Chain A
Amino acid sequence: MRAEDILVPTPSGVCCKRGGFYIDPTRPVEKALITHGHSDHARAGHGAVLATQETLDIMRLRYGENFAGATQAIHYGEELRLGGVTVSFHPAGHVLGSAQIKVACEGFAIVASGDYKDVPDPTCPPFEPIQCDVFITEATFGLPVFRHHDTKGEIDKLLRSAALFPERAHLVGAYSLGKAQRVIAMLRQAGHDQTIYLHGAMEKITRYYESRGIDLGHLELVRGAKKAELAGHITICPPTAMGDLWSRRFPDPVFAFASGWMRVRARARQRGVTLPLVISDHADWDGLTSTIAATGASEVWVTHGQEDALVHWCVSKGLKARPLDIVGYGDEEETDVTPTEADA
């Protein structure tokens, strides 16, 4: 059995001919298995979609009722026979509902991990390393300079800043799905019990998280708040809103941005961020390399990000490794749901 007999990489996603499906395809297909709800992985218009209940719900929220011809929900750990292969979904620790997809056939297993992180996140079940022969990994932060393990330290930094500048608003740019809710949940864990304000673009998703039993404390929409009320408070918004007319309603705002990219100073400066928060929903370099080791895989396929360095590392450890040139992954962060400038 060869890996390619089970899964074949194509420019629009990995394809399983025996099972008759694609994983996270970037163009409409007949049958798609979706790892998680970010728009670069979960697209509308497939014939049938198999995913966790949360991912299906999130796709429905984002694309409307008719985002796919048919849907089927699968639990973590549940095994399903599709054509000649067995598939199962396992927690990826990336965002609510995110999963790694294991495809097995005659004792040979491939895991397509989608996006993942191996550090705690109070808003989703923790990542589980799955034993496999071939591990398909992302490499968003696949350079040894990306290390973002001390998330709590970053949250503390934000809270200290809010305490030091009580007359200013603290605007935190965070991706609408996952990061925003995680930042809020971590602020709550750190004991922050004041009202947190939300940009309207993240309301639906955030309310959905709450409906799944995740307690995010008292939230208010920015819309309707007076300028003076926003002082001393933390507001979560899509990163693009910070450079927008929208941000002018805040009193002397401190611009924070929660992202793994904030690890590199030039990137933080380029975006005009004054309080970079190194908080990522992707595995950092240590996370990528230790996860690869933990899966026991002898071969690694790298989907998107900084493939060169990770492939180099795998080869230096005696693993077979290759980049997959899939077009279109990694775009969600750059094109996060942007409210129009008129959306005041």
Chain B
Amino acid sequence: MNRFAELLDRLSYEPGRNAKLRLIADYLRRTPDPDRGWALAALTGALSFKHAKGGMIRALIAERTDPALFALSYDYVGDLSETVALMWPSPEAERVPISPRSGGEGLGVAGALQPHEDRPPPPAPSPPSAARREGGEKQAPTLSEVVETLSTLGKSQLPAQIARWLDTLDETGRWALLKLVTGSMRIGVSARLAKTAAASLGDKEPDELEIMWPGLTPPYLDLFAWLEGRGDKPSNTDPAPFHPPMLAHAIEERDFETLDASDFMAEWKWDGIRVQAVAGHDEDGHIVPRLYSRTGEDISKSFPDLLESLRLPAAIDGELLIMRDERVQSFNVLQQRLNRKAVTPKLMLEFPAHLRAYDLLAEGDHDLRGHPFSERRARLTKFIEKLNDPRIDLSPLVPFETWPELAAARGDPASAGAGHDAEAVEGVMIKRRDASYVPGRPKGPWWKWKRDPMIVDAVLMYAQRGHGKRSSYYSDYTFGVWNAADQLVPVGKAYFGFTDEELLEIDRFVRRNTVDRFGPVREVTHDADKGLVLEVAFEGLQRSTRHKSGIAMRFPRINRLRWDKPPREADRLETLEKMLSKFENVRP
């Protein structure tokens, strides 16, 4: 448990992806089975314990501490698990201050620093407090003990068991245990990242692991045996497995010069959520349908309405959308369904889920990923016809013969076939006819050509220091536009889009024009004549109660620095309001 706790602790502070990978891989390498398997399960979200809730933990600490001290501490720390982990009383006897003679760690302090003879006699000798732990450390539970015990223990026995464990762990161990049992780890590690780290143990491709993942069960003894060359490759027996998805590169102007339009097909890029819908027969011949997110997370539970439609064995790559009266709704509408925790009949009626199919990866027992796209597309068309379900349709192709023709379609999807769904189109996808379906983001076969972003000129108001490599740079920017009262109101925050060169320029500007400081945040000069205007690009707008301006931007980034523009000429809130109302009018 202590090693796992240390891993969680480091991961929770480490912003860099590569560093996280190294930390996880290092842990998996140093830790024996089955502990490391349970850790991998915890990191990939494969563990959940039902009974442990905040209330129980609060009760445990209330029995052991002074309520006034707890209240002051909780107020200071702000997180229940962390407060309890830190103030949990050690079972060892109260500490007596070290005696002068027991501080025997002195390096070269003899002579010059020796205390004088006439000091009072030292109190009863006691070990330095750093050594107090060791007795307790021996009985600290292993991660396996914790996981196995939690899965069998009844609810009534749980508090006493957790208390016993807390008694044997140190501060970090207690924090990790409480995070684990309450299921709120939030350490910034995706399942994909944890699997990538595991794959690195055997120099395997993460996709290979991803493909077999649904067939594996914690603590993954067979997986580690294979990764360490001690066992056979585990086979995926899942009837409806996830297929690691193929992703596209963004196309640039100059790429077109080298590409022959006749080698490609195009389709709309829908503004929903990329999903994979898979169905297969289990051993008893029953159909097993599953819906996966792009990262392989099983999201079936959130979309029971769509699941019913997956009646034929196949794997479809497509876009999840909300469809009302045969019209695709905007991403804003989809988000309203995603934000709800409970999937009620009312929610499903109001926000009906729909799958728009792009590609067919498998049909029945046939893996089609090695076949050319044109062929898969033809099979997909037939398959959708055969399925004949109102909730699943085919994403239409965009006809074109030359790149300028495709550019015209992208500029005006409504007249190029997207019709009244045009507002839900966020660009076009360009796919090589002869390309097989390759997991990851290979360069060349697939390109995305997004519609031009929306753009406003906003004024830099606050800058915050970044993390990791950027921790000496002011790299997170809050910007605002003018409201009716000629005041700047913040409308968003962006921390990318600029070049390294531009980052240096902004950083210099921030340091020279600071008017106030709040911890890591600096307020910079922003009045009508003096300040920095940022051209901000973004993908969409929605109403937000969290922002003072009432508006939130989707995917904002710094497009350009407008050193030439005085802040008074930056955009106004009305401009954004107009853009927003255009979005909202999409609803029928």
User: Contact residues of A with B, CB < 8 Å?
Assistant: 75-78, 90-91, 93, 96, 118-131, 143-147, 149-153, 157, 161, 164-165, 185, 188-189, 212-215, 242-248, 252, 254-255, 263-266, 268-276, 286-287, 289-291, 293-294, 306, 308-309, 312-313, 316, 341
Contact = CB atoms under 8 A, between A and B. Distances in A.
A287 B10 contact: no
Interface residues of B, number: 70
A77 B118 contact: yes
> Which of B14, B109, B467, B511 neighbours the largest number of chain A CB atoms within 10 Å of its CB?
B109
Interface of B: 6, 10, 12-15, 19, 22-23, 26, 65-66, 68-69, 72-73, 76-79, 82-83, 86-87, 90, 94-100, 102-120, 122-123, 128-130, 132-133, 170-171, 465-469, 471-472, 511, 519-520
B38 to A, nearest CB: 22
A214 B106 CA distance: 9
A246 to B, nearest CB: 8
Contacts of A118: 95, 97-98, 129
A77 B122 CA distance: 13
Contacts of B66: 312-313, 316
Given A119-B130, A286-B129, A127 B107 contact: no
A91 B98 CA distance: 12
A143 B79 contact: no
5 contacts: A90-B119, A126-B99, A244-B472, A264-B77, A287-B97
A276 B13 CA distance: 8
Nearest to B474: A243
Given A145-B83, A272-B471, A214 B107 contact: yes
Given A119-B129, A128-B120, A313-B69, A274 B468 contact: yes
A273 B13 contact: yes
A155 to B, nearest CB: 11
A248 B171 CA distance: 33
Contact of B115 (A77, A145, A212): A77
B467 A272 contact: yes
A76 B120 CA distance: 11
Nearest to B126: A290
Contacts of A243: 465, 471-472, 520
B90 to A, nearest CB: 8
Contact of A144 (B73, B95, B98): B73
Contact of B69 (A122, A150, A152, A312): A312
A145 B95 contact: no
B76 A145 contact: yes
Looking at chain B's contact residues, the main secondary structure is loop
Nearest to A75: B116
A266 B469 CA distance: 20
Contacts of B76: 143, 145, 264, 306
A331 to B, nearest CB: 16
> Which of B65, B82, B108, B469 neighbours the largest number of chain A CB atoms within 10 Å of its CB?
B108
Contact of A145 (B87, B107, B118): B87
Contacts of A124: 109, 113
A189 B97 contact: no
Please list the 9 inter-chain residue pairs (A to B) with the smallest Cβ-Cβ separation, ordered nearest first.
Answer: A126-B103, A77-B116, A145-B86, A118-B97, A144-B87, A149-B129, A215-B108, A272-B471, A120-B103
> Which of B102, B112, B114 neighbours the largest number of chain A CB atoms within 10 Å of its CB?
B112
Contacts of A165: 19, 22
Contact of A127 (B97, B108, B110): B97
B101 to A, nearest CB: 8
Given A243-B465, A287-B97, A287-B129, A122 B73 contact: no
Contacts of B132: 149
A36 to B, nearest CB: 14
Nearest to B104: A120
Contacts of B106: 122
B72 A286 contact: no
Contact of B116 (A78, A266, A274): A78
A91 B112 contact: no
Contacts of A255: 471
A214 B69 contact: no
A158 B505 CA distance: 34
Given A145-B73, A145-B77, A272-B465, A126 B98 contact: yes
A47 B520 CA distance: 39
